[in-house]
Structure 1
Amino acid sequence: MQENLGHQSIAKAFVEARKAASILHSYPGDIPQSMDDGYAIQDIAIALDGRQIGGWKVGRVPPNHVEKFAAERLSGPIFVDEIAYESDGDGPEMPIFDDGFAAAEAEVLLRLGSVPDGEFNIDTIGQYIDDVRVGIEIASSPFTGINGYGPAVTVSDFGNNKGIVLGASIPGWRDADLLAMPVSLDIDGETVGSNNMGEMLDGPFGSVVFLLELLKKRNIVITPGIWVSAGAITGVHDVASGQTVKAKFGDDLEAACKLVAI
């Protein structure tokens, strides 16, 4: 009972800080020591927040934490009102906690057109996906040290997500060699990272498999139409309000946004 009360208090602190745009300089409770604890806090926070979920982000657990936390990936919700669509020019404005933690990541976004009702794996999950787009994840939290205390802490504050930018669909993505597609991220016109999806753990389809298995374990209903932000391709890049972020994929696909302080 005492542990559940602790989870409730932490979840409430994060939800209130996000709504008030107030900064947390220390973790609001005992540091969660397992992924189960982190997700328990996240589940409470989702219920307290009350907004509709339109997708889920997937991220990598740093190698030095994999053994302790028995996990290679983590996840958090993406709320419908924090999903933006890329437009011409600098793209949509994306709010960040300027005095908290803020980063941008080049990612591919996959949409579930239907939900598997039986067994699935990395080779079969593609049949349930009906769109793959280029995009950007905004990772931002009111807790300044969110990435400094292990993945369970990251998970406890919505997986450190503050929205996604959906760019254009990748033409012919079912037949394209997605893993070989070059990807780069620019901040204010300067390239800060480049890579390809082949360097991701199991690639973007592996992220979808992980997420569906995790949500099933947590008894969270999976509905068609949800987006999966599959993980950072070029790295996690610190950002500040006023900056313009542009993710480039292949020869002519890109997504952009302008960062603004909450």
Structure 2
Amino acid sequence: MHAGQIRSIVDRLEVHIRNRTTFQLHRIDARPITLDEAYEIQAEIVARALRSGTESIAGYKVGLTTEKMQNFCGVSEPIGGRIFSSGVRESGATLRKADFHRLGVESELALRIGRSVPRTSDVSELIGCVDAIAAAFEVVDDRDADYAHLEASSIAAENSWNKGIVLGEAVPPAAFGDLRGLDGRLFVNGEQVATGSSSDVSSGPLSVLGWVAQFARENGEDLRPGQWIMTGSIIPTKFAVVGDSYSFQLGPLPAVTASIC
């Protein structure tokens, strides 16, 4: 796909977002875009944000890493995206529903990069690249997508729907082994509504770290110390209702909380 096509798609996308147009599958000459083309579109979105001078890449998200989420979206492969610095929030954040077309909250394990991530799938090497972990929410906006008609490429083109993250208190990872086996519980207004486990994520959270490191390299980037990696929701997306409060507890990690106004 040539640069003019990419710019034209992103121009239209920006108009749709401003006008709160319902999410649409991306097409070029009536054919679906490929995943590679989707990441070219995403790269243009990122480039425009960085050129504004007010944004930086605070981390990366990987979506659709669990069977629950793949079934929920009807998509069978993981997708990557960037997290912008303006979207990073601390636990206790209040999210304004009116700022989004359709606000979704996803419950995840977040990893903070402590040093460069090598080209490896060796868990013992990958864990050494993580200096902190936290329970976290990913903030997404699916623009009222029709979940009966989704595809990985169209979601990925729109930065995999990421609109930020809410981070719980960070703790060192040393006591948590390979980061599997952390049982998660999501509470809405104090009532437990769903459960999941960090073991549900792909081949484990550290495998996701290896995946996103490769994703970054393929896009001419490197993971940097201080960046956060969102490893995928272990609980299907919850769509926000004004007045709701969310609390996600993941093993012994400090809970992350958020409220909707």
One-letter amino acid matched to 1:12: D
The answer to whether the Cα contact below 8 Å between 2:244 and 2:259 also exists between their aligned partners in 1 is yes
Contact 1:6 1:30 (8 Å CA) reproduced:
no
Structure 1 pair 165–26 and aligned structure 2 pair: CA distance change class (3 A): closer
Structure 2 unmatched runs, 5+: none
- Check conservation: 2:109, 2:134, Cα contact below 8 A: yes
- How far off is 1:81 after superposition? 1.2
> Paired residue for 1:60, among 41, 47, 64?
64
Give yes or no for the alignment of 1:239 onto 2:240: yes
Q: Is contact 1:99–1:144 with CA below 8 Å preserved after alignment?
A: no
Aligned residues: 245
Structure 2 equivalent of residue 39 of structure 1? 39
Moved more, 248-257 or 122-131: 248-257
When residues 197 and 155 of structure 1 are mapped into structure 2, their CA distance, relative to the original with a 3 A threshold, is same
What's 1:49 paired with?
Answer: 49
In structure 2, the partner of 1:23 is: 20
Matched residues in 1 for 2:205 and 2:233: separation? 10
TM-score (norm 2): 0.83
- Sort the Cα spacing of 1:78 and 1:241 in 2 relative to 1 into closer, same or farther, 3 A: farther
The 2-side partners of 1:228 and 1:146 are apart by 27
> Residue 75 of structure 2 contacts residue 150 of structure 2 at CA under 8 Å; is this kept in 1?
no
1:110–1:132: 8 Å Cα contact kept in structure 2? yes
Instruction: Name 1:69's counterpart in structure 2.
Output: none
- C-alpha RMSD over aligned residues: 2.5
Deviations 1:221-251 (A, max 9, x none): 4322110011101222222343222111225
Query: Would the alpha carbon gap of residues 166 and 212 (structure 1) be closer, same or farther in structure 2, given more than 3 Å must change?
Result: same
How far apart in 1 are the matches of 2:121 and 2:94? 36
Give runs of aligned pairs for residues 95-114 of structure 1, distance below 5 A: 95-96=96-97, 100-114=101-115
CA distance, structure 2, for counterparts of residue 132 and residue 41 of structure 1: 30
Rate the CA distance shift 1:96–1:76 in 2: closer, same or farther, 3 A: farther
Query: What CA distance in whole angstroms lies between the structure 1 residues aligned with 2:110 and 2:219?
Result: 22
For normalisation by structure 1, the TM-score amounts to 0.83
Cα distance between partner residues in 2 of 1:153 and 1:232: 19
Q: Which moves more between the two structures, 126-135 or 7-16? A: 7-16
- Deviation of the 1:76 alpha carbon: 1.0
What's the secondary structure of 2:82's corresponding residue? strand
Q: Distance in 2 between matches of 1:214 and 1:163?
A: 19
Q: Is the 8 A contact 1:54 1:78 kept in 2?
A: yes
Cα separation, partners in 2 of 1:208 and 1:193, compared to 1, 3 Å: same
Q: Which residues of 2 match residues 157-172 of structure 1 at below 5 A?
A: 157-170=158-171
Q: Which runs of 5 or more structure 1 residues have no equivalent in the other structure?
A: 67-71
The question of whether the paired residues in 2 share the 8 Å contact of 1:12 and 1:48 is answered with no
